[in-house]
């Protein structure tokens, strides 16, 4: 090579690649100290930017009011009760016997407390460190707490003065932690335990104990019923895809909100999210992906509402009276994906229930509801979180809580008048004595059907004198009513 030949700045190789020999020589002559100074400068710049970002975050305005983050309807208002600092990434929520909020996420179960009486939580108490995968079901009862997680259904007990549980016991082993495994747990009006599971929970005939299960060959997601002594295990309904929660209606029937098959969207066999009435022995129709049983099969459970695309989470039946009358007996359902809460009316007189939108995230606010609960004052509490998202609790309440006045039954027929009667816990406010009401109770309680008697007992609001009048008809029911009237 001629040493006097001038080196070109750049060119194109025979392979079509661009090269810059002069630039390469210059870079090769750069000394290590110079590169080190550049690296130090870059590191200092990065640290400075991080500090500046943190300072801006600290000085940032507080989160916007809940009314600016959620669209709320029906004369209701919403406020934030707790933020992500008290409980992040919430999976489930329940209220204890004192109406206090208990929430769970990955690695914690906490009680949220309002120490200054302003209606908002300002302190959290760690009741239990765990489960590692987060509890997807919670149920508080007395000084015990039940949760679903860590491979089973657990009971926490022996709380200290702060309520922190010192002992725990696994009651039954289950597959937990996955999004399609075991989920919510509730105690039913019959005092049996009820749990709901998705289609990956692996519950089959081997799970059953006793010979009275309505379903003997369970398939896909199931509704489980377990006796108080845990000796009997039943499958009440099956064929769900992935229901996360359920609740009991005023008449004791069970409503379940099941997921859709999102991969089948736009295909003829696609089915949206649906709210079911899960009758004993009934089938929701899911067999496998893209394989569903037709709705017209005789054992398919009634569909109360079809709610389109979404990811079902919390379910709560409204038994209070603070909200406007249209909410009485309505079912609230939470949709995690679409960031909304729907209300499904109880229907009546043969008319199908009508769903309507109660609350929805506004604009770019990430509203991801995971669980619902109604407080003692009739407010609806909404927990948010899931998949690492921001946690918190909102409270939806009536701007002007409705005053409850005694009302006449909508129907003069015995069974409808009992079914639609006020909840027994409201007896002190709406007690009605004598007249047509006593005749209606007498007609219903004379029925030998166990279900009719149970509904009559749960709904009756009779004075001690009326109980005495009924003793010649149903002695056992009369004694029960006498005991309940003394407790009011």
Residues 390 and 471 in one domain: no
User: Is residue 407 in a domain?
Assistant: no
Q: What is the pLDDT of residue 60?
A: 43
Please name which of 60, 89, 81 lies closest in space to residue 388, comparing C-alpha atoms. Answer: 89
273 shares a domain with 129: yes
CATH number of the domain that residue 208 is part of: 2.120.10.30
SS3 of residue 55 by DSSP: helix
For the chain, give me the number of helices (H) and strands (E)?
9, 30
Domain range holding 25? 1-60
Please identify which residue in the block is written with the tokens 């009485």: 328
**C-alpha–C-alpha distance, residues 244 and 192, integer Å:** 19
CB-based contacts of 324, cutoff 8 Å, min separation 6? 74, 75, 398, 402
Does residue 69 sit in helix, strand or coil? helix
pLDDT reported for residue 401: 73
Question: Does 419 lie in the same domain as 331?
Answer: no
Q: What count of other Cβ atoms lies within 10 Å of the Cβ of residue 210?
A: 10
Q: Quickly state the pLDDT bin for 1 (edges 50, 70, 90).
A: very low
Residue 240 inside a domain? The answer is yes
**Cis bond upstream, residue 131 (ω within 30):** yes
pLDDT of 124 strictly over 60: yes
Give the range with max mean pLDDT: 125-129, 426-430, 483-487. Answer: 125-129
Nearest residue to 204 via CA among 221, 213, 217: 217
> The tokens 């909840």 sit on which residue?
423
- Residues 6 or more apart whose Cβ sits within 8 Å of residue 74: 323, 324, 326, 327, 358
Q: 241-245, 307-311, 321-325, 442-446: lowest mean pLDDT where?
A: 442-446
Note the maximum CA span of the chain.
Answer: 126
Shared-domain flag, residues 302 and 441? no
Q: Which of the listed residues 348, 365, 398 is the one where a domain comes to its end?
A: 398
Give yes or no: residues 363 and 456 share one domain: no
Q: What is the mean pLDDT of residues 423-431?
A: 45
Residues in the chain: 488
Q: Does residue 403 fall inside a structural domain?
A: no
Sign for the CA dihedral angle at 218, 223, 224, 227 comes to negative
Mean pLDDT of 370-396: 96
For residues 389 and 431, membership in a common domain is answered with no
One domain for residues 185 and 55: no
Nearest CA-CA partner of 330 in 381, 399, 380: 380
* CA nearest to 78, candidates 437, 474, 384: 384
In a domain, 404, yes or no: no
Pairing type for strands 340-344 and 392-398 reads unpaired
- What 3-state class would DSSP assign to 430? helix
Alpha-carbon gap, residue 78 to 97, rounded angstroms: 24
Which of 60, 77, 109 lies at the terminal end of a domain, its last residue? 60
Whether residues 49 and 77 share a domain: the answer is no
Which of 18-22, 70-74, 167-171, 456-460 has the least mean pLDDT? Answer: 18-22
Q: What is the mean pLDDT of residues 366-373?
A: 96
- 349 by Cβ neighbours in 10 Å (0-12 / 13-18 / 19+) ranks as exposed
Does some domain include residue 465? yes
Higher pLDDT, 391 or 290: 391
Whole-prediction pTM: 0.73
Query: Model confidence over 191-232: pLDDT tens digits?
Result: 999 999 999 999 999 999 999 999 999 999 999 999 999 999
Q: What is the pLDDT of residue 2?
A: 45
Asked, for residue 406, whether it belongs to a domain, the answer is no
> Based on the structure, what is the number of domains in the chain?
3
**DSSP result, 39-52:** HHHHHHHHHHHHHH
The verdict on 36 and 154 lying in the same domain is no
Q: Which of 60, 82, 106 is the last residue of a domain?
A: 60
Q: Out of 259-268, 378-387, 455-464, pick the least confident.
A: 455-464
| 229 and 172 fall within a common domain | yes
- Whether 409 is in a domain gets the answer no
The answer to whether 157 touches 147, Cβ cutoff 8 Å, is no
């Amino acid at each position: 090579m001629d040493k006097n030949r001038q080196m070109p700045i750049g060119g194109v190789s025979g392979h079509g690649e661009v090269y810059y020999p002069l630039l390469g020589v210059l870079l090769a002559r750069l000394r290590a100290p110079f590169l080190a100074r550049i690296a130090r400068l870059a590191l200092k710049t990065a640290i400075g930017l991080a500090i500046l970002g943190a300072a801006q975050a600290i000085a940032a305005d507080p989160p916007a009011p809940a009314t600016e983050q959620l669209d709320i309807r029906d004369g209701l208002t919403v406020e934030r009760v707790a933020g992500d600092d008290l409980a992040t990434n919430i999976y489930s929520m329940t209220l204890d016997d004192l109406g206090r909020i208990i929430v769970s996420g990955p690695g914690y179960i906490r009680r949220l407390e309002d120490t200054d009486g302003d209606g908002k939580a300002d302190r959290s108490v760690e009741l239990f460190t765990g489960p590692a995968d987060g509890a997807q079901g919670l149920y508080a009862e007395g000084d015990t707490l039940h949760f679903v997680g860590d491979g089973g259904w657990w009971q926490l007990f022996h709380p200290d003065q702060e309520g922190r549980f010192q002992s725990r016991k696994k009651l039954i082993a289950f597959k937990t932690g996955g999004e399609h495994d075991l989920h919510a747990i509730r105690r039913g009006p019959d005092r049996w335990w009820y749990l709901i599971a998705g289609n990956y929970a692996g519950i089959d005939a081997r799970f059953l104990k006793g010979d009275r299960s309505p379903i003997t060959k369970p398939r896909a997601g199931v509704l489980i019923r377990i006796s108080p002594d845990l000796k009997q295990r039943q499958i009440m309904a099956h064929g769900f895809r992935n229901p996360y929660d359920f609740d009991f209606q005023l008449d004791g029937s069970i409503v379940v909100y099941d997921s859709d098959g999102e991969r089948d969207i736009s295909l003829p066999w696609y089915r949206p999210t649906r709210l079911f009435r899960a009758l004993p022995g009934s089938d929701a129709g899911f067999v496998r992906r893209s394989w569903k049983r037709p709705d017209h099969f005789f054992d398919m459970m009634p569909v109360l509402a079809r709610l389109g695309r979404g990811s079902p989470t919390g379910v709560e039946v409204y038994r209070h009276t603070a909200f406007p009358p249209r909410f009485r007996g309505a079912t609230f359902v939470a949709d995690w994906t679409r960031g909304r809460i729907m209300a499904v009316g109880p229907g009546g007189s043969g008319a199908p229930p009508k769903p309507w939108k109660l609350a929805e995230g506004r604009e770019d606010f990430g509203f991801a509801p995971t669980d619902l609960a109604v407080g003692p004052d009739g407010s609806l509490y909404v927990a948010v979180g899931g998949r690492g998202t921001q946690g918190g609790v909102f409270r939806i309440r009536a701007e002007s809580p409705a005053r409850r006045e005694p009302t006449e039954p909508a129907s003069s027929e015995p069974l409808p008048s009992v079914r639609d009667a006020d909840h027994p816990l409201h007896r002190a406010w709406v007690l009605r004595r004598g007249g047509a009401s006593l005749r209606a109770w007498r007609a219903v309680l004379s029925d030998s059907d166990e279900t009719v008697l149970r509904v009559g007992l749960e709904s009756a609001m009779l004075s001690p004198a009326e109980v005495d009048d009924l003793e010649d008809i149903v002695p056992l029911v009369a004694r029960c009513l006498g005991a309940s009237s003394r407790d009011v």
